[in-house]
Structure 1
Amino acid sequence: MAELRTERLLLRRWRESDLEPWAAMNADPEVREHLGPVMTREQSDASVALFQEEFDARGYGWWAVEANGEFIGFAGLDDVDPEVPFTGVEIGWRLARSAWGHGYATEAARAVLDYGFDTLHLPEILAITTATNHRSQAVMRRLGMTHNPTDTFEDPTAPQGPLRPHVLYRITR
């Protein structure tokens, strides 16, 4: 599993010491605002095990992200859920609230885009989020991603209600 470095961040393999802060993030209703219900510790731990399995199998996935030697969240690439009306590889990120507002999401995502285009030779990378997640959409625009209003869709994997309308952003190599 490749490590990615930026000026301020290290994107790396997950460690046992990441499990507790990851679980705390997933138990934070503000962090989960656009993702659905908070997760239990068991669900959170299981997600990390799955992240590592998928990364090992595909050569891409979710890296743990650290700043100043401290775990602050994740960023990476994943296959688009088969239930949505698009196919491809999507970029994503999730940071602890203490890491919001420092430009870390954009910085980590740029490193992930470079990996996707330069190492994996992907022709296009997608980003999907709820229509109300304006912070993530701002990151997508800073990355140079574009949104066509015809790509707005109802995500069948999301619960009925405000989390179901989603937007799709794209960027090509």
Structure 2
Amino acid sequence: MEKYSTNAINADAPVMLATERLLLRQWQRRDLGPFADMNADPEVMRHFPAPLDTQQSNDLAARLCQLIARDGWGFWAVETRSHAEFIGFVGLRETKPDMPFGSCIEIGWRLAQAHWGKGYATEAARRALSFGFEVLALEEIVSFTALPNLRSQAVMQKLGMHRAPDDFDHPAVPQGHALRRHCLYRLARGAWQEQQP
């Protein structure tokens, strides 16, 4: 069975989403520099196994761009509408099938440290959730992070997501690593609909 609806998606014109303050869009070449700076920031990457060098960051941006080009949606580049300033990424993507909870659609985000504490992650993620449930007709969206990442967990809670009872070891994080243990948050479409005004 198809996990999501593609009826409303035109792959030749990738989806662009807007909020009051932000634009979620396809990646552009001008994003690479600030993205590399962000991925090299030890504080931004505190809850990942290691910061990324410039080539690793560029490769990641290329993969995210390719997925949006293929599907019409994904982990979008995010910029402020007031200054067209790149601040990070927010969006949806399909998890790998080797995750303990199987393949599903996750919502994720990563913002440059200068833009923390402004509600941007929550604002953009709410718009991405709306797209996932209303356009893709998803039954559920999940999110996960390393246990020490309380900042991301706070965003998940603001989004109305609920923590699953069982934590898990992330298969991409080496055994014995302090960040291997992750928590999983879930949000069903019915619960999301109940939150809407």
TM-score by length of 2: 0.85
d(CA) in 2 for partners of 1:117, 1:59: 15
Aligned-partner SS, 1:135: helix
Matched residue, 1:170: 186
Cα drift, residue 83 of structure 1:
2.2
Aligned-partner SS, 1:33: coil
1:122 aligns with 2:138: yes
Whether the 8 Å CA contact 2:26–2:68 is kept in 1: the answer is no
Divergent runs of 4+, >2 A: none
Matched residue, 1:131: 147
User: What amino acid sits opposite 1:140 in the alignment?
Assistant: M
Matched residue, 2:89: 74
Aligned-partner SS, 2:128: helix
1:21 aligns with 2:34: yes
Aligned-partner SS, 1:149: coil
- TM-align CA RMSD: 1.0
Whether the 8 Å CA contact 1:83–1:157 is kept in 2: the answer is no
Aligned-partner SS, 2:87: strand
Q: Within 5 Å, which residues of 2 pair with 1:83-102?
A: 83-86=98-101, 87-102=103-118
Whether the 8 Å CA contact 1:92–1:127 is kept in 2: the answer is yes
Cα drift, residue 54 of structure 1:
1.2
d(CA) in 2 for partners of 1:60, 1:90: 12
d(CA) in 1 for partners of 2:185, 2:119: 19
Matched residue, 1:44: 57
Could you list the per-position Cα deviations for residues 28-74 of structure 1 after superposition, in whole angstroms to 9, with x for gaps in the alignment? 11111111211111111111111111122223211000113100000
TM-score by length of 1: 0.96
1:113 aligns with 2:129: yes
Gaps of 5+ in 2: 1-13, 190-197
d(CA) in 1 for partners of 2:46, 2:181: 14
d(CA) in 1 for partners of 2:15, 2:99: 29
Matched residue, 1:11: 24
Aligned-partner SS, 2:62: helix
Cα drift, residue 80 of structure 1:
1.2
Cα drift, residue 13 of structure 1:
0.9
**How many residues in Structure 1 have an aligned counterpart in Structure 2?**
172
d(CA) in 2 for partners of 1:7, 1:122: 24
d(CA) in 2 for partners of 1:6, 1:22: 21
